[in-house]
Amino acid sequence: MQFTLEGLWAEMGLFARLVVFVMAAMSVASLYVMGERGWFFFRSARESRAFAARIAKLIEGDGGLNAAADANLGRGPVGYLGRVLGAGLAAFKSAPANPDVATESVARALERQASREVQTLKRGLGLLATVGSTAPFVGLLGTVVGIVSAFQKMAETGSGGLGTVSKGIAEALVTTAFGLLVAIPAVMAFNFLQGWVDGRSVDIAESSNELLDAVSRHYATRA
């Protein structure tokens, strides 16, 4: 038996190969989520920064909130921040004249859209968490089966030499290593992406509060 990838694969049993295929599928799925979420986050952050610059310019101008609401900035590629603040501006535009009712309406619109955006940002992270937590156990399952196979071989031959059990031990080591190889990047990516989402949640909350402050100032100047 050759202790190379080709040699180990040739000596693997059916169950061990099945475990490797399962972990390969888990690895491909996690890599897809990493790439897709990375690109989505980069694009959303860029669009949100551009939206924040546009809306700040409008609010600080002579038209104030009315100009920002009439501009319909919440449409198009505006990122997570644009969709949240766009929902708040839409609520402000259609709100009644009563300041308290209008402010409450804007706050509810911001909260609803913020919850939707956070869930959108988290899409796919559950798969990374699942892969990171289960891949080592799938590899361990292959390890257990490999060891059982080794002991069965020992019982059949009546010998306990290294040559007798090397095949089963090799299967066990390969599946264990593969499980860790799949799990470690998934856990690292999940922690990084989850931290990014948490940071953007703070940004959304702060921007929503700033818009509510602007709404309050708008009605205060009209009182």
Q: Centre a 10 Å sphere on the Cβ of residue 39 and count the other Cβ atoms it contains.
A: 10
- Residues 6 or more apart whose CB falls under 8 angstroms from that of 2 comprise 8
199-217 pLDDT, tens digit per residue, is: 999 999 999 999 998 888 8
pLDDT in tens, 72-123: 766 678 889 989 998 998 888 887 778 888 889 999 999 999 999 999 999 9
150: tokens are: 């080794």
Burial of 121 (0-12, 13-18, 19+ CB in 10 A): buried
Tens-place pLDDT, residues 26-49: 999 999 999 999 999 999 999 999
Task: List the structure tokens of 192.
Answer: 């990084």
* pLDDT averaged over every residue in the chain: 84
pLDDT for residue 2 is more than 60: no
Residues 80, 44 contacting (CB under 8 angstroms): yes
pTM: 0.82
Residue 209's pLDDT is what?
92
Consecutive H or E run containing 4: none
Host H or E run for residue 117:
helix 99-121
Render pLDDT for 120-149 as a digit per residue (tens, 0 to 9). Answer: 999 999 999 999 999 999 988 888 887 877
